[in-house]
Amino acid sequence: MLHRSSLLSSALKTVGTSVSLRFNSTIVKPKTAILMLNMGGPQHTDQVHDYLLRIMTDRDMIQLPVQSRLGPWIAQRRTKEVQKKYKEIGGGSPILKWTDLQGQLMCNELDRKCPESAPHKHYVGFRYVNPLTEDTLQHIENDGPERVVFFSQYPQYSCATSGSSFNSIFSHYRQHSLPKNIKFSIIDRWSTHPLLIKTFAERIREELNKFGEAKRKDVVILFTAHSLPLKAVNRGDPYPSEVGASVHLVMKELGNTNPYTLAWQSKVGPLPWLAPATDDTIKAYVKQGRKNFVLVPIAFVNEHIETLHELDIEYCDELANEVGVEEIRRAAAPNDHPLFIEALSSIVADHLKNGQAVNPKFLMRCPMCVNPRCKDSKNWYSEVCTH
């Protein structure tokens, strides 16, 4: 079965040690600020309710009828259940600590690679928990950099994740004056970057090599990504195709040595979402006689509740025992793998040098977009992001 203790202990160690990196920075006035955007996660169980409340009232993330009333009700109803899950992985999410560590290591590399734009300083901007993006924007303005890069930490773009973070920046500056002496640019997606692909391939090899040689080539590589409502997919959200592109390139990097498939996790509510679900996929393959797996969280760049609890506990421990899996392992997220840090620094370095402040693809709305805020937001970015 899965040996997950090293993944969890590594996450807990990071929770306890890396926070000092962001707050003890010796850089007083960075020349280049990199704002690392993600949804975030509660560091303590007493933050779970507010975290869920922000998610359930964000119409970019989820659309509910009478959302102003139903969203708070769902958040209240789910709080105890979600708190229990966080207690089972050590009491909180390690996502802030991992992001902080990744940012510090990235900036160390950037200072070496790009002395002309140094010093570089990373900032963390979360959508649903502190440090909230709007608060971090004020922090950046107070530091007074010459340039700010909004860097999505979702490699594959979705309107519900990256789009929500970028829209929140637009909403902030619709209510606050935009600094006139700062240049802004964005990195909105990077699902096919060669070093990201190599990182995932290395993480998979690490786990495949733990299987006996006789069965190693028959192990199913099960890529898993957060699911998305079909309603969003049918509007033209690019997320499924970008996840698929990552999977294709990782398998190419591995030499297509193993059978593989892509499944979707973390569905919420009764409406149709992307399928097949990850748990259903495991059950189905066991019935077909395939009982050895490596799970790969292809859309996550660091450990958090959906890797440490959903994948490790609910699937690799509980479900695997229930359905008769022979051996199942979970590839670690990129975390602080040297190849991944090189990926982050290379993505930003190339962005700083290539003269393109915003990806033309980002400025397109989904063909069936029904969100008027997206139109205003993208128009704003087209005006603000200039070199």
Nearest-angstrom CA–CA distance, 139 and 287? 54
Nearest-angstrom CA–CA distance, 368 and 371? 9
Q: Give the tokens for residue 256.
A: 């297509």
Predicted confidence at residue 269, as pLDDT, reads 82
80 in a structural domain: yes
Specify the number of domains making up the chain. 2
**What is the average pLDDT value for the chain, to the nearest integer?**
94
Taking only the tens place, the pLDDT of each residue in 19-56 is 434 444 455 689 999 999 999 999 999 999 999 999 99
12 in a structural domain: no
Range of the domain at 344: 18-191+337-382
Confidence of residue 15 (pLDDT cuts 50, 70, 90): very low
273 in a structural domain: yes
Q: What is the CATH number of the domain that holds 111?
A: 3.40.50.1400
Q: Write down which residue in 312, 330, 348 finishes a domain.
A: 330
Confidence of residue 63 (pLDDT cuts 50, 70, 90): confident
Are residues 312 and 319 in contact, defined by beta-carbon separation less than 8 angstroms?
A: no
**pLDDT over 70 for what percent of the chain?**
93
Identify whether residues 167 and 272 lie together within a single domain. no
Nearest-angstrom CA–CA distance, 381 and 172? 13
- Contacts of residue 346, defined as CB under 8 A and 6 or more positions apart, other chains included, come to 113, 193, 195
Predicted confidence at residue 64, as pLDDT, reads 87
Identify whether residues 69 and 209 lie together within a single domain. no
